[in-house]
Amino acid sequence: MRVLITGGAGFIGSHLCDRFLRDGHSVVAMDNLITGSTDNIAHLAGNRSFEFIYHDVSNFIHVPGPVDAVLHFASPASPMDYLKYPIQTLKVGALGTHNALGLARAKDARFFLASTSEVYGDPLVHPQSESYAGNVDPVGPRGVYDEAKRYAEALVMAYHRQHKMDTRIVRIFNTYGPRMRLDDGRVVPNFIGQAVRGEALTVYGDGSQTRSFQYIDDLVEAVVRLLRSDYVEPVNIGTTREISILDFAKIVNRVAANRAGIIFADGSRIDGDPQTRRPDTSRAHEVLNWRPKVELEHGLEWTFDYFRSVLSAAV
């Protein structure tokens, strides 16, 4: 297969590039590098099965030659990033998805959309299953991301129904691992950066809000399985181990042997911060025979190793 991965220089996109290349496919990565980085794909330079195209997919996408699958992963994805780039976020979810679908249609390729647990907003149903329609405030600060992804899902289903295109939608829950940006503002890089520097971890609010953190390798495996399947409806992918942010901070400090403790920094919290988040993954289990495998403590150690090497290279 020849696979186009938009957002291919991003955290998740670059891991997908690695996986598809390892599986013997050709990969074209496309990225405008506003939140991605060529550092994430530098190790692929010289690989004859790999190409990088610097391009903003919100503009018309041109890829010469055959394409068998289009994986649309381009988007700012951390709350800090999409608040910094609200219009680009809306555009890449709307115009970018439209262009990527158009390319897939022209090439007769399978289309795969990276959607998000944010389509559920601040959920009133717990855990969240795919049938839950969500609780999103369109004009809240997170609306730019949430509504862009909701629109993207609607567009994908319209192309599937109208044009009979072969499409997939994954709803990704909190995912962490090597190649997250240390300064992307999310809880995992913030806490790990603070712990590596021996600083107190900044818990926003009282830390009672919950998240479920899955390791990147588990997500990548699910993406490959979903792409290969024939399942068109959205599929949640995430871990069902739900923890409060306060407990998460304690785990990070324990894994890092950081004695600096925790401080409560409510001022940095973004309005509309969901209070709970945990996927119902029964569909992923039934359709893909998939379950996450990596324990949080192990995944955190590997992520620590990565951030330590990035920080020591920066000194």
Active-site positions read 145
Q: Which amino acid is at 171?
A: R
- Binding residue for ligand UDP, selected from 17, 44, 67, 187, defined by CB under 6 A: 187
Please, which of residues 72-131 interact with ligand UDP by CB under 6 A?
Answer: 78-79
**Cα Dmax for the chain:** 58
- Binding residue for ligand UDP, selected from 150, 179, 211, 278, defined by CB under 6 A: 211
Whichever of 183 and 295 has its CB closer to ligand UDP, that residue is 183
Helix (H, G, I), strand (E, B) or coil at 163: helix
- List phi, psi (to 5°) of 5: -115, 110
User: Closest Cα to residue 20, out of 290, 176, 221, 181?
Assistant: 221
Closest distance to ligand UDP from the beta carbon of 292 (Å): 17
Helix ranges, 23-96 (H): 79-84, 86-91
- 244 binding ligand UDP? (CB under 6 A): no
Closest distance to ligand UDP from the beta carbon of 109 (Å): 30
Q: Near ligand UDP by CB under 6 A, which window of 23-31, 36-44, 183-191, 304-312? A: 183-191
- Binding residue for ligand UDP, selected from 6, 88, 209, 214, defined by CB under 6 A: 209
What gap in Å lies between CA 114 and CA 195, rounded to an integer? 30
Closest distance to ligand UDP from the beta carbon of 138 (Å): 17
Q: Are 122 and 138 in contact (CB under 8 A)?
A: no
Strand partners, 214: 175
C-alpha gyration radius of the chain:
19
**The two structure tokens encoding residue 297:** 């403590």
- Binding residue for ligand UDP, selected from 91, 160, 186, 278, defined by CB under 6 A: 186
User: Which residues contribute to the site for ligand UDP (CB under 6 A)?
Assistant: 78-79, 174, 186-187, 190, 202-204, 209, 211, 245, 269, 273
